[in-house]
Amino acid sequence: MQTAAQIKTQALAKDAKLKSSPLDVGGERIIPSVTRVFSGEQTLYVFFQAYAPQNADANSLRAGLVFFRNGLRLSDTPMVAPTEYDEKSRTASFRLSLPLASMAPGRYTVQAIVVDAGTTYAAFARNYFALRPASKPVASATIAPAPNN
């Protein structure tokens, strides 16, 4: 009978381990959100990777986000170049951020799009999130001093 460690090593192989995590950026670690509910006071940070075909030029890869609500396209971000590209694994990493203050509360579909400019290569992925109304500041109650009797 094999131990759990032996099974794990056989399943992943010794050279399958990542040398660095794509969540480590500039000495800091990106912590994935476990919720898909945000408020208008927050900034949405999106990180994703795309695997380029063998004949793709890393310099021509671009990505952006498209936002949909109730099936209608609302807005999109500008297309950006990858923040990192790993030649060995042919992996392009993209990081985008968007302040949510200008978006109305509701449920959204966000689509990440990656294109290889000048070619027919394109890829996309969709995800969902909800935007709740911004929280109102709590009014501080003023307590009147007790009368002196």
- Rounded to 5 degrees, what angle do the CA atoms 144, 145, 149 make? 130
CB atoms within 10 A of CB 110: 19
pTM for the full predicted model: 0.70
pLDDT tens digit at each of 149 positions of the chain: 555 555 454 555 555 555 667 677 667 777 777 778 999 888 888 889 998 877 778 889 999 999 999 999 999 999 999 998 888 888 899 999 889 998 999 999 999 999 988 887 888 999 999 999 877 665 555 565 666 65
Cα 58 to Cα 144: distance, rounded to the nearest angstrom: 67
Beta bridge partners of 69: 72
Expressed in angstroms, the distance from the first to the final Cα of the chain is: 85
Domain boundaries, the chain: 21-131
Nearest Cα to Cα of residue 93 among 1, 30, 16: 30
Cα 38 to Cα 127: distance, rounded to the nearest angstrom: 14
Q: Looking at the chain, list the stretches that DSSP marks H as alpha helix, in order from N- to C-terminal side.
A: 4-12
Query: 21-131: which CATH number, 2.60.40.10, 1.10.3720.10, 3.30.1370.100, 2.60.320.10?
Result: 2.60.40.10
Strand 91-99 to strand 106-116: parallel, antiparallel, or no bridges (unpaired)?
A: unpaired
